[in-house]
Structure 1
Amino acid sequence: MANTNSTTITSSEILCTQPVIESAITRLLKTPFGATMDLFQVLDCCESLVDALIENDDSTERVALCGRLYAGLEVLKVVLKAPLPAHLIERLTVEVAKENDYPCALSTDSETLREYCAALTMLLLQRQQSPEQEEHITGLVFELIGVLVEDLKAPRFIKTDAGLMMIGDATNEIH
């Protein structure tokens, strides 16, 4: 290495080492899941995993993404049973409710929809279907998780003079 006052020229390829760039897939696979995550954090992770899955053609990465997605859906099972924290209640609360603006596209509850997603993800992990079937199942998981995320992030509460109430149920006071 040349001294500061030296006239020796140093080649830029020697000075600039190429950093090892972690791929987006690697970061997704390393994202920890845990019971300390709130509902929206788990949903965001699952959504990111299924987004990567639908865009990925590498067999090994697809299996890893399916495994992480399945783990995320299992964490979601626990999170769905836990009470909503105050910061999420605030995010799910509106001043004025428009009852027909928040319908779920499927007439099933969130836990059943989560179970459908988990079952389809497990099917993808088994790798017993044709490439065409795998593509259709992946698309279905993508669509169902999208519906699940949209439904669970839709407003649930309305502020009234009597306090916080569930949308569509003016007699059911929350707080």
Structure 2
Amino acid sequence: MANADSNTFARPEIEPAITTLLKAPLGNHLDLFEILDSCQFHIDALIENDNNTECMALCGRLLAALEMLKVTLNAPLPTHLIKRLTVDVATDDNYRCPLSTDSETMRQYCAALTMLLLQRQQSAEQKQQVTGLLFELVNVLIEDLKTPRFVRTDSGLVMMSGEAVPGIH
């Protein structure tokens, strides 16, 4: 529907949110949690979107965030994130996802599914299934990487498994 004083078409309420999301800067200034938040925002918008152009843009941005994550996973954690990933007492319910794969492998799976969506070779049903699977895997990855993994002890920080803290994820 056209606006009375405009030659443009009215768009649903979601457009400003997607436009803002697509314009948000991605770069090496982001820390692990900020990159994960970016992945979350993009996958949340993608799962709710039926516009092909917007889906392609969201997939491109998600892929860019996943590629940034690749570099970040190999870098030492900054002190402020170590604090956020540290607990005083380890409990069985606050560590590790049910999948036995490492973060980089999960990131690769997410990137591969995103590239598959960018190729646009699927039927509508397949696209919906691949997008749903990508949504689930991105959320598992995010939850796993944001789950506390360090415990404060009298002798310093240790991993939940009891290993000495190596300085990376």
Under a length normalisation based on structure 1, what TM-score does the superposition of the two structures give?
Answer: 0.84
Verify: 1:146 aligned to 2:143, yes or no.
no
The 1:123–1:174 alpha-carbon spacing in structure 2 relative to 1, beyond 3 Å, is closer
Verify: 1:96 aligned to 2:93, yes or no.
no
Whether the 8 Å CA contact 1:99–1:168 is kept in 2: the answer is no
Query: Counterpart of 2:152 in 1: which secondary structure?
Result: strand
Whether the 8 Å CA contact 1:164–1:174 is kept in 2: the answer is no
Query: Counterpart of 1:23 in 2: which secondary structure?
Result: helix
Higher relative contact order (CA 8 A, sep 6+): 2
Q: Distance in 2 between matches of 1:30 and 1:105?
A: 34
Unpaired runs of at least 5, structure 2:
1-12
Query: Counterpart of 1:103 in 2: which secondary structure?
Result: coil
Shift of 1:103: 2.6
Q: Distance in 2 between matches of 1:31 and 1:174?
A: 33
Q: Distance in 1 between matches of 2:31 and 2:70?
A: 12
Q: Could you say which residue in structure 2 is the equivalent of 1:6?
A: none
Whether the 8 Å CA contact 1:99–1:167 is kept in 2: the answer is no
Verify: 1:172 aligned to 2:153, yes or no.
no
Query: CA deviation digits over 1:117-147, x for unaligned, max 9?
Result: 0000000000000000000000001000000
Q: Distance in 2 between matches of 1:28 and 1:173?
A: 35
User: Among the aligned pairs, what percent are the same residue?
Assistant: 63
Q: Could you say which residue in structure 1 is the equivalent of 2:51?
A: 58
Letter in 2 for 1:66: C
Shift of 1:36: 1.4
Q: How many residues align?
A: 154
Verify: 1:47 aligned to 2:40, yes or no.
yes
Unpaired runs of at least 5, structure 1:
1-20
RMSD: 1.6
State which of 31, 35, 39 in structure 1 corresponds to 2:24.
31
Larger radius of gyration: 1
State which of 117, 122, 126 in structure 2 corresponds to 1:129.
122
Q: Could you say which residue in structure 2 is the equivalent of 1:112?
A: 105
Verify: 1:79 aligned to 2:72, yes or no.
yes
Whether the 8 Å CA contact 2:87–2:148 is kept in 1: the answer is yes
Q: Which moved more, 1:79-88 or 1:95-104?
A: 95-104
Under a length normalisation based on structure 2, what TM-score does the superposition of the two structures give?
Answer: 0.87
